[in-house]
Structure 1
Amino acid sequence: MAAAHRTLPLLAVGLALALAACAGPKTAPPPPPPAQVSGMPTDGPMCIVGLVSANVAFNRIPDTAKGDGCGISTAISLYETQTVPFNRPVEVSCGLAQALLAYDTQVLQPLAQRVMGSALVKVHHAGGYVCRGRTSNRSRLSEHAYGRAIDIMAFEFADGRIARVKQNWNDRGPLGDFLRQASKGACGVFQVVLSPNADADHADHLHLDVGPWKLCQG
């Protein structure tokens, strides 16, 4: 009897190995989705450290926030994100720069390769910080007034093509496809995304901000 009991584990092991062989090679699990910026990114010294470690090109400029009006907290002049320069430097908060970095690496570059077959080499903007009210309600300050918003006009690619929001938004080809997907993809990174789908005030640009409200009209 003792010998019979000892053979049972061996039979079980053999059966398990046979079943594993029949099952075929295991498929690798899908990669996890990219991390996203959620809520208002935190400004302050650690935000600056994060930009430096990511090789973002910027200059630290004096803060102007006073708590009761226009001004930027943890202000920078941003030249380029990790892979993409801007057409000119833009004054923004460090928190917005962090969101733009995520947008570059997680949304724009993969999208450029997939839709355009060419790397994104420049982002054209119409401004970041400006002390003004909202287009929908001039009595309330825009997120631009805190350096937490940027208006994107166009995306330029390595092969020379430029996707312009004003001219190409409704195109049926790759330029329009890129713009519409770039707008929708921004909703996973920024708090508010306003595109030509929002209203006539945004017919020529994408408004991206990291303010306290959540709204996707991409």
Structure 2
Amino acid sequence: MRRRARLATALGVIGAGALAVSSCTASDVLTPRVDVGTQTSSVGPQPRGLARLASPSAMMSVGYPRLQRPFAEPGAQMPASETDCRRQLRRLGVTFRDLAPINDGGACRIDWPVQVSGLPGSIEMKPAATLSCDMALAFATWTRKELTPSARWRYLSGVKTIHQGSSYSCRNIRRSGGVASEHSKGNALDVMRIELRNGRDIDVRKPGWFAFRERGLLNNVRAGGCQYFTTVLGPGYDADHADHFHFDIKNRRNGYVACR
């Protein structure tokens, strides 16, 4: 009787263990029960040139849920990244001043805006452009390394004035279904014409067939812009950009650069 009781007990233990194993599948072991949230951020771009340094704070959120940034309150301490950006502007010889935070609702905001009135080489910006510091730095570097050398090569002249048509502007991209323009973040600038020191005034609109030097200059600065910005659009792209160059540092996934 004792042997039968021990055997029954042993069989009961084995049966219970088998039942436990059968109810615990591989998916139960490997799949976490905790809800870690849905990833909402996109992979930040890996653009070439200076644009790789633009918006470093955006790069910090790669792979994690994007949190709403608190708006910079008046009197708040400037982040180190913004301080460093301004240091680089001064090193380049950019004339600028800090503006109060801009918040026009929705995506229309710049926490630490600057107003740029002069660029490297004593080039005037008319009218003064309201931009994020990252965009100001990208544009100033492009001006120094691409536009100025191209003007000297093609026309044996320096650049006197860059005439811009739009910097910060609270608006959506036309025909986009409500997508905010990079202008609404201070991350875009439209260039209408370029005035040289020799008196030549270069309209950005598509030049005629026999305007070889003008065509060469515009082609050079347009292609060179792709090293500093994530978007370069101009005449020939569409009707909305027929009379100006559009430059911006839009944050795109997978390093995509729109250079057209």
Place the TM-score, normalised by the shorter chain, in its bin.
Answer: 0.7 to 0.9
Equivalent residues of 1:132, 1:142 under 8 A apart: yes
Q: 1:54 & 1:118 partners in 2: Cα distance?
A: 20
Amino acid at match of 1:195: G
Q: Which moved more, 1:145-154 or 1:107-116?
A: 107-116
**Is 2:160 the counterpart of 1:121?**
yes
Q: 1:81 & 1:88 partners in 2: Cα distance?
A: 12
Look up the match of 1:31.
Answer: none
Q: Give unpaired runs (5+ residues) of structure 2.
A: 1-47, 56-80
Closer/same/farther in 2, CA of residues 126 and 170 from structure 1, 3 Å limit: farther
Amino acid at match of 2:236: N
Look up the match of 1:4.
Answer: none
Q: How many residues align?
A: 184
Give the drift of 1:129. 0.3
Alignment partner of 2:125: what SS? strand
Amino acid at match of 1:147: G
**Is 2:108 the counterpart of 1:70?**
yes
Q: How does 1:1-218 map to 2 (within 5 A)?
A: 36-39=49-52, 41-42=54-55, 44-65=82-103, 68-83=106-121, 84-166=123-205, 168=207, 172-213=211-252, 214-218=256-260
Q: 2:198 & 2:100 partners in 1: Cα distance?
A: 38
Give the drift of 1:101. 1.3
Query: What is the RMSD of the two structures over their aligned residues, measured on CA atoms?
Result: 2.1
Amino acid at match of 1:163: I
Identity of aligned residues (%): 25
Deviations 1:130-169 (A, max 9, x none): 0000124150000000000000011111111111012637
Deviations 1:100-128 (A, max 9, x none): 11111110111111112211111111010
Moved over 4 A (4+): 65-68
Equivalent residues of 1:132, 1:138 under 8 A apart: no
Q: 1:57 & 1:171 partners in 2: Cα distance?
A: 37
Q: Give unpaired runs (5+ residues) of structure 1.
A: 1-34
Q: 1:66 & 1:135 partners in 2: Cα distance?
A: 19
